[in-house]
Amino acid sequence: MPGPNGDHDRTEAMSTIPEYLDALKARFPSGGDWGEKLAAVLAMEAELPMMPMEEKTPDTRFHGCQSQIWLVVGRDPETGRFVMKVDSDARIMRGLLAIAHGYYHDRMPEEIAAHPPILLRDAGLLDALAPSRANGFYRLLLHIHGLGSEMAARAKDQVA
C-alpha cells in the first residue's frame, strides 16, 4: 500500500501470489540502484513476525544459507492453508524472509504448487544480493515451495 509519499513502505498481504508479486515489483523497481533495493529489503524486516525463541531449535534450522535461519511449516487444520514461521539472526535475511513469508504464508498448497519461486527470481528481486546470499535464499524458496507442493499432492491423494 502506498505510503504518504506515494512509496510502497509496506507490502500488505495480497489475495493471490500474482498480486503479491506485483506489489513487490512496485516496491523494488527495476533499474533501481543496489542501495535502494537493499534499503527496501531492510525495511521489510519489520514486517516479519518474530519467531518464539523456543521454536528456534536444531530441528527447525534450515541449512544452506550463510545466516542462521529457522523454519516451521504446517497446515492450518481449519482452513487447510499452508502456514509458516521463519526467522533469522541477520537483518538482511529477515527482510528476505519477509518476502518469502508474504509469498507463501496463509496460501492454499495448490496455489503454492502452481507458483514456483523462479517467479521471484525472474522479477529481479534477488538482483541486489551477493551471489552466495541469493543462492542460499533461492534454495530456501525451493525448499518451502517443495513443502507446499507436497501438501498439495497429499491433499489431492486424500480426495481421490
pLDDT digit string, tens, across residues 70-92: 999 999 999 999 999 999 999 99
Q: Which residues contact 25 (CB under 8 A, 6 or more apart)?
A: 123, 124, 125
Give the whole-angstrom CA distance, residue 83 versus residue 68.
20
Q: Which domain holds residue 86?
A: 17-159
CATH number at residue 120: 3.90.1010.10
- Residue written as grid cell 552466495: 132
Q: Which residues of the chain have pLDDT under 70?
A: 1-14, 29, 31-32, 159-160
Q: Residue 9: inside a domain, yes or no?
A: no
Amino acid at 123: A
Given this model, what pLDDT does residue 159 score?
Answer: 65
Q: Residue 2: inside a domain, yes or no?
A: no
Q: Residue 1: inside a domain, yes or no?
A: no
Q: Residue 3: inside a domain, yes or no?
A: no
Given this model, what pLDDT does residue 123 score?
Answer: 74
